[in-house]
Structure 1
Amino acid sequence: MLLRFLTALLFLAAYCSPPSTRANDYDVVIYSATPAGIAAAVSAAECGDRVLLVEPTSRIGGLTTNGLSHPDFRTFEAITGAYLDFTRRVQQHYDEEYGPDSPQARAALRGTEAEPKVNLLVFEQMLACHSNISVETNSVLTGVDVEGSGNERHIASATFVPTDQRAEGTKKVEAAIFIDASYEGDLLAMAGVPFRVGREARSEYDESLAPKMADDQVQGYNFRLIVTRNPENRVLPVKPAGYHREDFIDVLDLFAEGKLESVFCDRKGGIFKAHLPELPNGKHDVNDVSRGAVRLSMPSINDGWPEGDAAVRNEIFGQHLRHSVGLLYFLQNDEAVPEALREEAREWGWCRDEFPENGHLPVQLYVREGRRMVGQHVYTQQDTVWAEDDARAKLHTDAIAIGDYAHNCHGTGHEGPLIGGKHTGEFYQSTAPYQVPYGVLVPKQCDNLLVPVACSSSHVGFCALRLEPIWMSLGQAAGYAAHVAREKNLAVQEVEPEAVQQICHARGGATIYVSDVPPSHPDFAAVQWWGTRGGLHGLNPKGEVRGEYIVGQYYEAYLNHEAELDKPLSEDARQRWLALAEKLRLDADSLKDAATRGDFIRMAYAQADQSKQ
């Protein structure tokens, strides 16, 4: 165990050495302090790079600090790397603030369920740990200088302008590597990198979930409101600007017809989905009710957002605000609303101690889908299918992250009236845990840009990637890839995925789902390496994979995804593993007498590690 630990330290020292004197203003410039952007900044800084992280709004953390406190993942075993570090820090905060056995610490659910203000505090602390990270908020990207053309493009500098008139003026910065961590893909677009907005036709990538014909529809947005029933912390909504009661009156017919049962619900039957489990201190993350009779998401007005200017986005933002806030205000105050419904609605309100600078409302809209880069690897529905006769999803030996959620789309269009109509383009399809290859981060045409959020994918593929835990893992990988590219003087297209994998594994980041070998396990890196090479595929046939239900959308570990290191090595597995060892140019003869799976993997990993030195 000590030898493996020292080997990991030596590896990190080799790849993450202190920087030499460099001419650029920064080594890495990251646009948008989303969780992916923060993970990229921390990862690059860990390797000694000088990082500038620029956020266009007043608040870092993206949706994780703007209301999305009920994160999308299925099992805790899928939480690794940067996101695991974040959740551990969150849990530590609640343990220290209230006590490890307190209701707040238990409600934090291993640090995954937290109040927005706590998520913000933890992100700030993570960034503050690195003196080589500079953070600028309220600074908008206005221009990108590109050298070359066609497939030989290189970003020389980016220009940012403060939104706060009291701040300094225009700032032009140079860097070796740029990372676009924005939800919209604004930097990649300004750099002239090809992208898509909308849905591909079913035939383009052979995706059953895609529409028959291509269109420009993007998945619906909505606010992730934070509410409470605690009278001491509750603030009732005020009438939003532009409010018209006539916009909401039809909702009463839906209650009368029994199509709606309540104002708030935890799953279905209501308008405002107050997620379970409850957040610490009696708060709830409110979301759109999938396939509900009334929706908070409004996909029909979102299509202009990805490529829209500030005025267009502000108008869409305002429409969402009037709809979400106005609907609750109507149900709480309008005399036409039955008294029982009004009483139920008035039990809920915004949290007095959240977003106090913005009327207790988030400053960001939940932009589920913006531009999507067309890069080296376009991630599609085919990337998440089951491998042949296997419990596992398709193998990607160039994976740099994992996901375990589903293809999930709240709808891309709407038929009929806003209240009483129906979303179209909605789908929810589960699969086994899936891998994400390095190529989704990498453009074809620009040699110093990485894109972890508006990454290369089809609309359907993006619906499996568009989740903050996955984006944070992609951001972490982007930070390491940026360092390797800069340190080795490589184009991002020339970075070997295995180099990124090795740093990720050494830092506890997974590239394949293994339910019984967590990042804290001494064999984590070895198992991740072997599994990503293909060694864990073919051990179990396809069948039921979902574990036992826990709470909300969370489950026990996926079935048949264990490494079982103490299990004797069967003859069938031995022959397949020896063949793989030969393919990897290892000394297969020295491995043939391994007694257990763990013995074989450790011996093979030691050989591979020695060959790199």
Structure 2
Amino acid sequence: MLFLLVAVYCHSLSAQKNYKADVIIYGGTSAAITAAVQVKRMNHSVIIVSPDKHLGGLSSGGLGFTDSGDKTVIGGLSKNFYERLYRHYQKTEAWKWEKKEDFGNKGQGTVALDSQTGSMWLFEPSVAEAVFKDFIRENEITVHRDQWLLRKPEGLKKEKGKIKSFQTLSGNTYKGKIFIDATYEGDLMALAGVSYTVGREANSLYDEKWNGVQKDVKHHRHYFKTQVDPYVVPGDATSGLLPEISGQPPGENGEGDDRIQAYCFRLCMSNHPENRVPFPKPQNYNPSRYELMKRVFETGWNELFEKFDMLPNRKTDTNNHGPFSSDYIGKNYDYPEASYERRADIIEDHKQYQMGLLYFLQNDPSVPQLMHDQIQEWGLAKDEFIDTENWPSQLYIREARRMVSDFVMTEGHTLSERPVIRPIGMGSYSLDSHNAQRYVTEEGFVQNEGDIGVHPKKPYSIDYGSIIPKAEESQNLLVPVCLSASHTAFGSIRMEPVFMILGESAATAAILSIKNKSSVQDLPFELLRAELEADGQILEKK
């Protein structure tokens, strides 16, 4: 995002234009694409207004190792996306850097190339983006890229509880009957005056167990298994803390706070000698920034390559793993509400941190020899993210704003302990949150906090009420990404297949509301349900 801002501000005022469509979608995520396709399938006009240059969000931004849970509940356009990927990888020419028969074909507990359902669950970023481009081309969808919402009161017009139009920094105005905020940040939702929250709720608010502060919870392996000293001079608190450790108290278990789970870039690496470029040395590289990594190695930790998840053509979706990894813990708290300029700084800071970590691992003499030798085989994939020097253009915004509506999806709904009356799609992945802070324990050692992973007993339905605001706040806005959910419930819902499902359902509700001449809140649910089922959406587990 940061490299687009200069261009935005340089737009000439003479380029200002007015645009109009039945549905205006703000965002370039996977949910935005499926929403736009559905609008066109229902024979209405749509414009995608995207601040991003590339379409597809994380689905084309490096997250090719699909977090999907029970894949049998993925239907509609979301399922079609994975079917198109499967067809691509049936072609001989799709396998440039390895043979199809040499591909491991395993991921997330099931086969990657799933011949029974005709779906592909592990894929290269460039292939995913090509599929999204096909969706756009085949449906003749109008997309305005590099258009950033004017996040000031004059940037949005609203009359009698309905959004009439919004404006972008370039001066363009977009007028519609229904609006869909499909961004990871929820900027349009916020500008429209819709209630939202940021951070973790107290467990007491929604009668939950896994919300708020979660000290000593060890659901994954992203914590310090042994005692590691946090101070510059071991044992001397007066010497100060090492980099990347907070001096703030962690809070008490179950308490709410404004901390959010960590972000990172999902890197696409390659170990093919002809398709890799060296990890670049970042500006102002300082190896002392990674002293805590040295101390982790000294404990005997040897899981460095645990989340180098293989994609086709000897590439990876490399994710965070362990007590000190690619997650930049505690450095994103202000991102959801920040200005574009501040967000750009945060994104660049994440890039410098993660780039520096990779350079450290390949070059620092403190790295154990076996791991040092193995990491030399890796580099950034040369044929991915070509216009951003092989680095993903999309930071993994795991969580930002979350709407607060009349209906809130909570832990109880995702664990099938509370009923969902108006189902518009299903989720099934674990209630998954990455660490939100790294702190010093009462005993004087470093520890991470916030990482949870609670598995639902079965797939669960997501209620229509979670994607519509309170009627008094907006009657023609749908929010399929920053939906109304608690922190723990969002931890499961926030998966890309689910966002695509909810994007399609939001678009269906938008068109039916137009046809029915009703607000999105007053749309008869049985009309919506019938249309969703006819389109192959899976609403409940039979």
TM over 0.5: same fold? yes
If asked which structure has higher relative contact order (CA below 8 Å, sep 6+), I would say 2
Could you tell me which residue of structure 1 aligns to residue 438 of structure 2?
A: 414
2:100 aligns with one of 102, 105, 126: 102
Cα distance between partner residues in 2 of 1:53 and 1:160 = 13
**1 CA distance for matches of 2:464 and 2:498?**
13
CA distance in 2, matches of 1:491, 1:177: 9
* Aligned CA distance change for structure 1 residues 330 and 200 (closer, same or farther; 3 Å): same
Q: Does 1:35 align with 2:30?
A: yes
Structure 1 residue 274: deviation in Å?
A: 1.0
Q: One-letter code of the match for 1:293?
A: P
Go from structure 1 to structure 2 and tell me whether the alpha carbon gap of 1:141 and 1:42 turns closer, same or farther (over 3 Å shift): same
Deviations 1:224-251 (A, max 9, x none): 0111211111111111123211111342
Partner of 1:464: 492
Matched residue, 1:442:
468
Q: How far does residue 338 in structure 1 lie from its aligned partner after superposition?
A: 4.5
What are the Cα deviations for residues 239-264 of structure 1, in whole angstroms up to 9, with x where unaligned? 11232111113422322221x21532
Structure 1 position 157 matched with structure 2 position 168? no
8 Å CA contact 2:405, 2:468 repeated in 1: yes
Distance in 2 (alpha carbons) for counterparts of 1:395 and 1:118:
38
Report the residue type matching 2:188 in the other structure. L
Instruction: Give SS of 2:91's match.
Output: helix
* Cα distance in structure 2, aligned partners of 1:299 and 1:333: 23
Say if 2:343 is the partner of 1:313: yes
- For residues 82-481 of structure 1, the aligned pairs below 5 Å read 82-98=77-93, 102-103=100-101, 107=105, 108-109=112-113, 110-131=119-140, 133-143=141-151, 144-148=155-159, 152-161=160-169, 169-211=170-212, 212-258=254-300, 260-265=301-306, 273-275=307-309, 278-289=310-321, 292-387=322-417, 394-416=418-440, 421-431=446-456, 432-444=458-470, 445-481=473-509
Cα deviation code 1:537-594 (max 9, x no counterpart): xxxxxxxxxxxxxxxxxxxxxxxxxxxxxxxxxxxxxxxxxxxxxxxxxxxxxxxxxx
Distance verdict in 2 for CA 1:386–1:448, change over 3 Å = closer
Match of 2:70 in 1: 75
Gaps of 5+ in 2: 1-17, 106-111, 114-118, 213-253
1:254 and 1:106, CA in 2 relative to 1: closer, same or farther beyond 3 A?
Answer: closer
Change (3 A) 1:416 1:286: farther
Distance apart, 1:293 and its partner CA: 2.2
Q: Is the 8 A contact 1:146 1:153 kept in 2?
A: no
Query: How many angstroms apart in 2 are the aligned matches of 1:240 and 1:501?
Result: 51
Distance, in Å, in 1 between the alignment partners of 2:90 and 2:454 is 36
Partners of 1:146 and 1:114 lie apart in 2 by 41
Single out whichever of 331-340 and 402-411 deviates more from structure 2.
Answer: 331-340
TM-score relative to the length of structure 2: 0.81
**Distance in structure 1 (CA, Å) of the matches to 2:523 and 2:480:** 15
**Residue 106 and residue 80 in structure 1: after superposition, are their counterparts in 2 closer, same or farther (change >3 A)?**
farther
Matched residue count: 461
The residue matched to 1:452 in structure 2 has which SS? coil
State whether residues 95 and 105 of structure 1, in contact with CA within 8 Å, keep that contact through their aligned partners in structure 2.
Answer: no
Query: Secondary structure of the equivalent of 1:293?
Result: coil
Aligned equivalents of 2:361, 2:276: Cα separation in 1? 16
CA distance 1:99–1:339, change in 2 (3 Å): closer
Aligned to 1:488: 516
Amino acid paired to 1:172: T
- Distance in 2 (CA, whole Å) between partners of 1:51 and 1:421 is 51
Aligned mates of 1:333, 1:54 — CA distance in 2: 43
Q: Partners in 2 of 1:336 and 1:429 — Cα distance? A: 36
Match of 1:556 in 2: none
SS at match of 1:95: coil
Distance (Å, rounded) in 2 between the aligned partners of 1:349 and 1:454 = 34
Give 3-state SS (helix, strand or coil) of 1:493's partner: coil
64 and 357 in structure 1: CA distance in 2 versus 1, 3 angstrom threshold: same
Q: Aligned partners of 1:376 and 1:501: how far apart in 2?
A: 20
**Cα-to-partner distance string for 1:490-521 (whole Å, 9 max, x where unaligned):** 1111112222221111111100124xxxxxxx
Deviations 1:348-405 (A, max 9, x none): 1110000011110101110010101111311111112345xxxxxx442310010111
RMSD: 2.0
Change (3 A) 1:105 1:293: closer
Structure 2 contact 88–94 (Cα < 8 Å) conserved: no
* SS of residue paired to 1:408: strand
CA deviations over 1:45-66 (Å, ceiling 9, x no partner): 1101111112212111000111
Indicate if the aligned counterparts of 1:262 and 1:341 stay in contact, CA closer than 8 A. no
Asked if the contact 1:293–1:421 (Cα under 8 Å) also holds between the matched residues in 2, the reply is no
Q: Structure 2: how far apart are the matches of 1:352 and 1:369?
A: 29
Task: Specify whether residues 299 and 253 from structure 1 end up closer, same or farther in structure 2 by C-alpha distance, changes over 3 A only.
Answer: closer
Deviation, structure 1 residue 421: 3.6
Q: Quick one: distance in 2 between partners of 1:126 and 1:106?
A: 29
Please list the CA deviations of residues 12-62 of structure 1 after superposition, one character each: whole Å capped at 9, or x if unmatched.
xxxxxxxxxxx9810001011111111111111110111111221211100
Over alpha carbons, which structure has the higher Rg?
A: 1
Equivalent residue runs for 1:588-603 within 5 Å = none
Cα distance change of structure 1 residues 263 and 382 upon mapping to structure 2, 3 Å threshold: closer
Partner of residue 570, structure 1? none
Report the alpha carbon displacement of residue 342 of structure 1 after superposing the two structures with TM: 2.3
CA 91–510 in structure 1, closer or farther in 2 if over 3 Å, else same: same
CA distance in 1, matches of 2:303, 2:329: 23
Q: Which has the higher helix share?
A: 1
Work out whether residues 69 and 428 of structure 2, in 8 Å CA contact, stay in contact via their aligned partners in 1: yes
Q: Distance in 1 between matches of 2:146 and 2:446?
A: 38
The 3-state SS of whatever aligns with 1:301 is coil
TM-score (norm 1): 0.72
Q: Does 1:511 find its partner at 2:520?
A: no
Structure 1 position 130, deviation (Å): 1.2
How far is 1:458 from its partner? Answer: 1.2
Superposed CA deviations along residues 266-320 of structure 1, whole A, max 9, x for unmatched, are: xxxxxxx212xx211111101111xx22132123111100000112211211221
